Amino acid sequence: MEILVKPVCNRRDLRKFIHLPAKIHKDHQNWIPPLYSDEWEYFNPEKNKAYEYSDVILLLAYRGNQVVGRIAGIINRKYNELHQENHARFNYLEAWDDREVIQVLIRHVEDWARIKGMEKLVGPLAFSDKDPQGYLISGFNETISIATHCNFEYLIGHLDAMGYQKDIDLVVYKLRIPDKTPELYQKIAERANRNNPGIKLLEFTRRKDLKRWIRPIFTLINETFTEIYGFMPFTLEEMDDFANRYLLIMDPRYIKVLLNEQNEAIAFVIGMPDIGKGIKKSRGYLLPFGILQILIAGRQSRQLNLLLGAVHPHYQNRGLDTIMGEAMLVSARKGNLEYVDSHLEMETNTRVRAEMEYMGGEVYKIYRIFGKSLEMNSRDTAVERLRQLAEFECG
């Protein structure tokens, strides 16, 4: 039966788009549903500020009346301008093991991007590197952490067959939390404290105490993540939105901030116990009891997931990361945690990778962002491009 691709044009279509993965991954043991309240806001142009500087298309593939696949196409105009690129992105591709469906969806995004004047399609990548990015290419039997993709291996084969090649790999380390901080690492942290006498470590026990540090932390991210693949600086509104999405489920014990003599945030690290089991038990719904299941899962977890961390450029190479790292290990032991998941690190980030490996960490998952050049058709006139673009619009 012929495959028909249609844009998401209304709330009913968006519901199909959001809930399709649960059907595809019904028997996928490691898959964790998203928090559906977040999904509805994320894909809402009135709620997600990234839509203000991005072109977005959401597509559904049908066989007859049945939805058999989905995909999103994104052009982050602000990022392209900052980096002098003409790249489009694809993400949230979901389908059963059907090459025809996957190819049709990808080609629709390619055509849309080409009509928009883009020269390359990369993905999976969304508005920024803080959204789920990269598809698993190694570690398919490992548990999945929050804000990462859980894809079947067949998806990689279909992308390869369409000419998509590696743009960058992202590695994830797993390391055992030692019963005692290694002596050399502790000495490095002690020396860093002596050499930076004006530095103060800020730790938390209550979520409400975190709020005043949200914007300083995200401002620090903007100042330090400039070389991170896919990174987009946060606006003040985006800082607040991002915090509101995650603050409720954060555990303040695993957030460390370093202040200078002027009480300015100069470094931070954010971790949280793995809550995947709680989200899975809640089936992605916070109400009526989902939030309790998630919080209980965090208390029972034995794995600490690192999410974000940064040191201001003026304070780098002064051992500040070891001060925070040693404090995080102390908190992790108090919380009866046994393992650390590093979250995604660029394969080229040798400094962080060296620290992980020094602590005995081993790569146990690898994610890949793919890319493919888009050949432009010089015969396309402006009128023809407008006609083709209308095919992707609602109405």
- The secondary structure of residue 189, as a DSSP letter, is H
What residues contact residue 57 under an 8 Å CB cut-off, 6+ apart? 7, 72, 73, 109, 112, 392
Cα separation, 120 vs 231, in Å, equals 17
Q: What is the pLDDT along the chain (395 residues), one digit of tens a residue?
A: 899 999 999 999 999 999 999 999 999 999 999 999 999 999 999 999 999 999 999 999 999 999 999 999 999 999 999 999 999 999 999 999 999 999 999 999 999 999 999 999 999 999 998 899 999 999 999 999 988 999 999 999 999 999 999 999 999 999 999 999 888 889 999 999 999 999 999 999 999 899 899 999 999 999 999 888 888 888 888 888 878 777 888 899 999 999 999 999 999 999 999 999 999 999 999 999 999 999 999 999 999 999 999 999 999 999 999 999 999 999 999 999 999 999 999 999 998 899 899 889 999 999 999 999 998 765 555 556 556 666 677 86
Question: Would you state the structure tokens that stand for residue 60, as one six-digit string?
Answer: 């559904």
- Which pLDDT value is given to residue 239? 87
Task: Please identify which residue in the block is written with the tokens 């990369």.
Answer: 122
Q: Would you call 301 exposed, middle or buried from its count of C-beta atoms within 10 A (0-12, 13-18, 19+)? A: buried
What gap in Å lies between CA 298 and CA 254, rounded to an integer? 12
Give dist(CA 245, CA 290) in Å, integer: 15
The amino acid occupying position 358 is Y
Give the pairing type, strands 120-123 and 87-95.
parallel
* Whether the Cβ atoms of residue 240 and residue 214 lie closer than 8 Å to each other: yes
Give the C-alpha separation, 147 to 91, whole Å.
13
* Strand, coil or helix: 89: strand
Nearest to 239 by CA among 222, 227, 264, 263: 222
DSSP class per residue in 362-384 = EEEEEEEEEEEE----TT--HHH
Q: What share of the chain is helix, strand, coil (3-state, %, to 5)?
A: 40, 25, 35
CA distance 106 to 120: 13
**What is the pLDDT at residue 381?**
57
> What radius of gyration, in Å, describes the C-alpha atoms of the chain?
22
Angle made by CA atoms 168, 169, 170, in degrees to the nearest 5: 125
pTM of the predicted structure, to 2 decimals: 0.92
pLDDT at 376: 72
In angstroms, how far is the first alpha carbon of the chain from the final one?
A: 25
CA distance linking residue 55 with residue 76, whole number of Å: 7
Cβ density class 200-235: b for 16+ within 10 Å, e for less: eeebbeeeeebeebeebbbbbbeebbeeebbbbbbb
**Burial per residue of 45-60, b for 16 or more beta-carbon CB atoms within 10 angstroms, e otherwise:** eeebbbbebbebbbbb
Structure tokens at 128: 């920024």
Q: Alpha-carbon distance 146 to 168, whole Å?
A: 21
For 83, 304, 307, 325, 347, the CA distances from 335, given in Å and listed in that order, are 42, 10, 17, 15, 30
Helices (H), 233-319: 236-246, 276-282, 290-300
The Cα diameter of the chain in Å comes to 71
What was the pLDDT predicted at 392? 72
Nearest to 171 by CA among 350, 385, 390: 350
Three-class SS state of 9: coil
∠ at Cα 89 (349, 28), nearest 5°?
80
